[in-house]
Amino acid sequence: MAKTNNNDAKPKKSILKRWWFWLIIIIIFGSGIGAIGNSNQDVNKPEDNPTNAVSSVPPQDSSLPILDPKKYERKEGLLVYNELKKKGYTVDAEFKKEILTKMNGPASDLFEKTDENKKSDRESVDNFVVGNLIQDADFIKLIIVMANAKD
């Protein structure tokens, strides 16, 4: 009777030598590159993003005066935000560049917890200025940009 030798079986291939392993790695790597590429696109072009354009529709049912957006452009965002809130407007502020939101959180949240009378607080946000102001009745949306931005 012949003995079967179990040692004659082929040794298992390392996972690194399997074709499907490398296919999965390529798909994951390609997806990551695609996601990075999409985040680098400038989605804030005026023709693509309506928040960059001055609203041409007059506000409806406003109990407060209609504001001139040009008056507030390039002014320190924190000061404008607080001034408009004191006047009774409902104010929301958002960063024009998504990367600023990722780094600092929403602009409104940042301004809410910042004291304009504290020097250290002011210095932490004094580079954020109003790039645009959009008004809808008593609601104001401030688009916040970097003071040195050329957009």
Structurally, how many domains does the chain consist of? Answer: 1
82-96 pLDDT, tens digit each = 999 999 999 999 999
In a domain, 2, yes or no: no
Average of pLDDT values for 108-132? 88
Average of pLDDT values for 115-126? 86
Residue 49 CA to residue 43 CA, distance in Å, equals 7
In a domain, 49, yes or no: no
In a domain, 17, yes or no: no
Q: Residue 130 is part of which domain span? A: 55-146
- Alpha helices in 3-143, H assignment, sequence order: 19-39, 69-72, 77-86, 98-104, 107-112, 119-125
In a domain, 25, yes or no: no
